[in-house]
Structure 1
Amino acid sequence: MRLPRNHREFVLFLLIVSLISVNLITPLISMFELGFSFEVWQNTLRVLPFIWLAVVSLVILTQKPSGKLKDLIVHPKDSFRSQITINILCNVFLMSFFITLIGAWIGEGAIHWAPVSEFFGKWPRNFSIAFLVEAIIAQPIARQVLYRYHLKKETFE
């Protein structure tokens, strides 16, 4: 009831999760990086559409590898919650790995080596922020929307 059942529902789920995530994670990481100010927030808003496109593209590209990674960790008989938690963990692990670099390049408007050389200092923070937002805010909201959609759909059938 809380998971996408077809491609259309997956697109809805992806839209909800990605929009919430990008609008929370990107400003948080930017502000931890550059300081908490109105100017930093305004500059972050300018790059959000590009970050969102990168995130959606990466979700699609990393979906199968993160699923395989999850399957290595959990047993098919494990609970729904453990399956979902490990799924979020694997998705965020792969996404944060790539977006730590790509997001810095998009935010700075240039590809250079600084994000690569600073990667291991910044990635743990980015992963932690992304995991908390995904696990506590974005995915629960999207799953609730799907749950209500499925309930409503079943009552009309």
Structure 2
Amino acid sequence: MEFFMKLPRNKKEFALFLAIISILSVNIIAPLITCLEVGFHLYVWADTIKVLPFIWLSVIILVLSTHKPADWLTSHFVHKDDSFNAHIIINTLCTVFLMSIFLTIIGTWIGTRHISIEPFTTFFYKWPRNFAISFFVESLIAQPIARLVMLKMHQQSDNGAEPALD
């Protein structure tokens, strides 16, 4: 029942779900990682805000391209009869694992506005931190909020009210 109530049921709901998660994640994770990288200053945050649309676009592309591989990977760790929470946490773990690998490199390129080999040379130093931050934000902030929105939308539409998204 939780799968039906807390997750998107169609493409429009998936788009809303993805928008909520990606906007929250990008607006929290990118500035936090950048400030940890170069210092917590207002000018650092302001500079990060300028590149957020490009990071957000790359996140959307990566979510869509890693969705199926993350589902495949998830299926190797959970059984179809496992709990909703087991499926969600393992899927989040797999998705963040794949995305953090790519975004540790791509995010550096976007943030520095320069394509270089530097993200590869510092990858094993930076990736674990980026993964931990991303997993924390995804599992405790972004996805719970998006699932709550889906739950409220589905409760409203299932109770005979006008559906929020057709």
Q: Normalising by structure 2, what TM-score?
A: 0.93
Aligned identity (percent) is 54
Question: Deviation at 1:5?
Answer: 0.7
Question: Deviation at 1:156?
Answer: 1.5
Other structure's SS at 1:73 match: coil
Where do 1:2-151 residues align within 5 Å?
A: 2-151=6-155
Distance 2:75 2:43 in 1: 43
Aligned residues: 157
Could you list the runs of 5+ residues in structure 1 that have no partner in the other structure? none
Distance 1:50 1:77 in 2: 39
Distance 1:137 1:49 in 2: 20
Question: Deviation at 1:81?
Answer: 0.4
Could you list the runs of 5+ residues in structure 2 that have no partner in the other structure? 162-166
Deviations 1:22-55 (A, max 9, x none): 0000000000100111011000000000000000
Distance 1:151 1:9 in 2: 14
Question: Deviation at 1:58?
Answer: 0.2
Runs of 4 or more consecutive aligned structure 1 residues displaced over 3 Å after TM superposition: none
More helix by share: 1
Q: Normalising by structure 1, what TM-score?
A: 0.99
Distance 2:64 2:19 in 1: 12
